[in-house]
């Protein structure tokens, strides 16, 4: 068949010369390339000791926000759950009672709030949908786990530390030196 392009090259069956059979020149050529890399800038880092900075638009593990007084902002409106393309978010709403006024911002609150991290695709649409500034995607990964059970994140896993009672923990979570 007529070649369609001129890229095809016939394999050379010519026997190797003495110099070629020594392989020495080609070994040196290869080593030059290898050693030259020792003087180039390293693209990798030593991960656990060194950590890369996250990009400002990084979308990691979710947090549930509190207001300045430590009240939970989430009011279980369900907009994050309806926006979620992976259907990872579920919740149960409850009515705030008189003695829970200091715990929740609004009349209604999320009694249970769960994100299935196995389903979550970290698209950030929940953050966009939230009308109450209650859910944010932080700059952390969802840590690995041995069982699937460990990926159902409930409210204790997601809520940020209370700025009134656990100020030190909050500062640590934010990564600010206390």
Partner 1 sequence: MSEQIFFKVTIDNITIEVPAGTTILQAARQIGGTVAPPAMCYYSKLQGSGGKCRTCLVEVAKGSEKDPRPMPKLVASCRTTVMDGMEVKNITSDKVIDARAGVVEFLLLNHPLDCPICDQAGECHLQDLSFDHGKSATRYEFQRRTFKKHDLGKNIQLHMTRCILCYRCVFTADQLTNKRVHGILDRGDHAEIATHIEKSLDNEFIGNVIDVCPVGALTDKTFRFKNRVWFLKPMDAHRDCPTCSGRVTLWNRGDEVYRVTARKDEWGEIEDTPEGKPGWICNTCRFDKKETSDWVIEGPRAISRQSVIAQGHYAGNVGMTKPTETFKAVNGGRTPHLLLDIHDESEVNQPQLHLGKIHGPSHGDTFNNKIENA
Give contact residues for partner 1 (rule: CB under 8 A).
75-79, 81-82, 90-95, 97, 100, 106-108, 111-112, 114, 116, 131-132, 147-149, 152, 154
In contact, 170 and 119? CB cutoff 8 Å:
no
Indicate the residue among 153 and 161 with the shorter CB distance to partner 1.
153
Residue 141: name the closest of 59, 26, 60 by CA. 60
Indicate the residue among 60 and 78 with the shorter CB distance to partner 1.
78
Least spacing, CB of residue 149 vs partner 1, in Å: 5
Least spacing, CB of residue 14 vs partner 1, in Å: 59
Least spacing, CB of residue 160 vs partner 1, in Å: 19
**Who contacts 19 (Cβ-Cβ below 8 Å, separation ≥6)?**
25
Residue 89: name the closest of 118, 67, 60, 65 by CA. 118
Radius of gyration of the chain (CA): 28
Least spacing, CB of residue 151 vs partner 1, in Å: 9
């Amino acid at each position: 068949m007529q070649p369609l392009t001129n890229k095809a090259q016939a394999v050379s069956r010519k026997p190797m010369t003495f110099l070629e059979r020594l392989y020495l020149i080609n070994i040196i050529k290869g080593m030059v390339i290898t050693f030259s890399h020792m003087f180039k800038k390293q693209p990798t880092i030593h991960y656990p000791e060194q950590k890369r900075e996250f990009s400002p638009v990084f979308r990691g593990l979710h947090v549930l926000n509190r207001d300045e007084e430590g009240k939970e902002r989430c009011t279980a409106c369900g907009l994050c759950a309806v926006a979620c393309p992976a259907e990872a978010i579920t919740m149960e709403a409850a009515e705030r009672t008189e003695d829970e006024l200091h715990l929740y911002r609004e009349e209604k609150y999320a009694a249970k709030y769960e994100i299935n991290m196995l389903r979550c695709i970290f698209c950030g649409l929940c953050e966009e949908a939230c009308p109450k500034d209650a859910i944010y995607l932080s700059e952390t990964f969802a840590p690995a786990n041995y069982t699937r059970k460990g990926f159902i994140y409930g409210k204790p896993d997601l809520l940020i530390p209370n700025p009134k009672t656990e100020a030190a923990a909050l500062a640590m979570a934010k990564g600010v030196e206390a």
